[in-house]
């Protein structure tokens, strides 16, 4: 039941129940209040009736035993009827199955058959109720062989009079206890969950965002608890994200500072060498200038890649999307870079379905950046390998479940299992060093991931040390009515 329903029910109960108790109390006590019943007199009357009926019944028993002929006297019988009637009781006299006389209101009334009760006013198992009054049913028969029998209906109170006020008091106390329990249950069902909410709010105020409220019943406070718990989770997630963003910002600044400091230090050193006259020959001066140019170029590449990654990370880099055949695009791209790859003593093999059509909706320039970053990364690490080792890059293309899958496999040194999940993180290098011995900015594969995911695709890497690496690019193929939705999402 909802809290609103509980409050309404409790409110009605607290209004109606006391009124009902008051009405009932007035009903029960009105005869006393109105003066129609005198408590003391009533008790005396009941006591007197009991004594008189006992005496009268003893007299009848004596007459039946010693002078049964008196019961045939109409005057005496009428006197007995009147005396019993005075105490709201009745008598019936029979002889040989023939009715001699009875109280008027017994006429036609069926009285249960009972055995003779030897003691006057003794408790009888047989009782009867007539016109709302209770009677003992007693039977007295002649003991000297006669056939006269007397049936008596003796009025009695079902409850001793002195117990009636006590029962009324118990009844009123029960009503009061019911109201108290009802109020306690209703208030408890409100205060307990509210107390839990208060304690949870205090924990959150103290910064303990891991404090979790236990589930509550599906009522208004339960709904508040659910909303409170959702708020806590969102707040915790927001703070965790803020902490992570701050950590990433510090890490980014540290990485940028380190990667920029290295070429700047080298440039500064070579410039000082030129200024100090260390390079005193034309050949040395040219070498110094070439080195300065190389380091400046490394800085330019780093800054460009950092700028591109930042725009991709903030979704501010525009995409020039168009539909084209990935098969012919990949064939043309690989043909253009084949010479640059093979002059590094690396063999390029291609496994592409000729004359096939795999239409994709993509930015060709961004896709070229993806491929060049992956190929440059493979060439960079294979450059460290001995010349006698067979160095190879294999590029494949296939269709799989509505996706175009580009595979780029190399025969390089491979990647450790611990490093593999992190190679697409920014500024991550598999050898975990911050030197530039191999070149590169540490952003190449991170840019690959951003661009591929920006096309609605996925990127994955598989590798084992000594067995080379495989990079898989999955791009969605153009389906019917799909081009318009991609155009709306990336906006050209």
pLDDT in tens, 56-81: 888 888 888 888 888 888 888 888 88
* Percentage, residues of the chain above pLDDT 70: 75
pLDDT score, position 42: 57
Out of 3.40.50, 3.30.450, 1.10.287, 3.30.70, the CATH code matching 41-156 is: 3.30.450
Residue spans of the chain under pLDDT 50: 32-33, 35, 37, 39, 118-124, 432-439, 483-492
- Phi, psi dihedrals of residue 283, rounded to the nearest 5°: -65, -45
pLDDT score, position 434: 39
pLDDT score, position 322: 92
How do the domains of the chain map onto residue ranges? 41-156, 212-317, 322-476
pLDDT score, position 466: 85
Q: How far apart are CA 313 and CA 296, in angstroms?
A: 25
Phi and psi based region of residue 461 (left: phi greater than 0; alpha: psi -120 to 50; beta: remaining): beta
pTM above 0.85, yes or no: no
Contacts of residue 163, Cβ cutoff 8 Å, sequence gap at least 6: none
pLDDT score, position 208: 79
- Contact between 25 and 169 under an 8 Å Cβ cutoff? The reply is no
pLDDT score, position 167: 63
Q: How far apart are CA 489 and CA 477, in angstroms?
A: 16
pLDDT score, position 69: 83
Fold for 212-317, please state it. Answer: Helix Hairpins (1.10.287)
pLDDT score, position 122: 42
pLDDT score, position 381: 85
CATH annotation of 322-476: 3.30.565.10
Q: What angle do CA 405, 336, 351 make, to 5 degrees?
A: 35
pLDDT score, position 195: 78
pLDDT score, position 485: 42
Residue in 168, 224, 185 with CA at minimum distance from that of residue 201? 224
């Amino acid at each position: 039941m909802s809290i609103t329903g509980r409050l309404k029910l409790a409110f009605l109960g607290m209004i109606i129940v006391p009124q009902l108790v008051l009405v009932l109390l007035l009903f029960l006590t009105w005869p006393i209040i109105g003066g129609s019943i005198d408590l003391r007199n009533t008790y005396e009357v009941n006591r007197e009736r009991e004594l008189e009926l006992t005496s009268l019944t003893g007299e009848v028993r004596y007459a039946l035993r010693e002078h049964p002929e008196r019961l045939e006297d109409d005057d005496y019988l009428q006197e007995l009827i009147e005396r019993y009637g005075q105490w709201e009781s009745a008598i019936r006299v029979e002889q040989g199955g023939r009715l001699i006389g009875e109280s008027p209101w017994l006429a036609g009334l069926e009285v249960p058959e009972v055995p003779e009760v030897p003691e006057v006013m003794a408790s009888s198992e047989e009782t009867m109720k007539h016109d709302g009054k209770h009677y003992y049913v007693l039977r007295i028969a002649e003991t000297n062989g006669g056939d006269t029998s007397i049936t008596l209906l003796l009025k009695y109170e079902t409850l001793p009079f002195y117990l009636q006020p006590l029962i009324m008091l118990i009844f009123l106390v029960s009503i009061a206890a019911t109201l108290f329990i009802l109020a306690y249950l209703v208030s408890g069902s409100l205060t307990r969950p509210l107390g839990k909410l208060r304690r949870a709010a205090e924990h959150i105020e103290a910064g303990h965002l891991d404090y979790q409220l236990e589930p509550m019943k599906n009522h208004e406070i339960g709904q508040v608890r659910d909303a409170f718990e959702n708020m806590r989770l969102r707040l915790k997630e927001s703070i965790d994200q803020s902490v992570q963003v701050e950590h990433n910002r510090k890490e980014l600044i540290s990485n940028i500072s380190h990667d920029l400091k290295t070429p700047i230090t080298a440039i500064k050193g070579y410039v000082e060498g030129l200024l100090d006259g260390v390079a005193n020959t034309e050949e040395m001066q040219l070498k110094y200038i070439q080195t300065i140019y190389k380091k400046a170029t490394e800085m330019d590449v780093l800054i460009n890649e950092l700028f591109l990654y930042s725009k991709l990370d903030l979704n501010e880099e525009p995409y020039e999307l168009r539909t084209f055949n990935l098969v012919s695009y990949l064939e043309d791209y690989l043909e253009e870079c084949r010479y640059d790859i093979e002059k590094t003593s690396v063999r390029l093999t291609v496994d592409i379905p000729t004359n096939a059509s795999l239409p994709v909706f993509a930015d060709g320039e961004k896709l070229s950046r993806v491929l060049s970053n992956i190929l440059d990364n493979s060439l960079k690490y294979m450059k460290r390998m001995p010349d006698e080792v067979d160095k190879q890059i294999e590029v494949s293309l296939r269709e799989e479940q509505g996706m175009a899958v580009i595979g780029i496999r190399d025969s390089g040194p491979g990647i450790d299992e611990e490093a593999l999940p992190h190679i697409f993180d920014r500024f991550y290098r598999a050898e975990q060093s911050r030197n530039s011995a191999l070149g590169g900015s540490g952003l190449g594969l991170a840019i690959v991931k951003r661009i591929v995911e920006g096309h609605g695709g996925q990127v994955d890497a598989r590798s084992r040390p000594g067995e080379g690496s495989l990079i898989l690019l999955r791009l969605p193929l153009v389906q019917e009515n799909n081009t318009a939705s991609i155009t709306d999402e990336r906006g050209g």
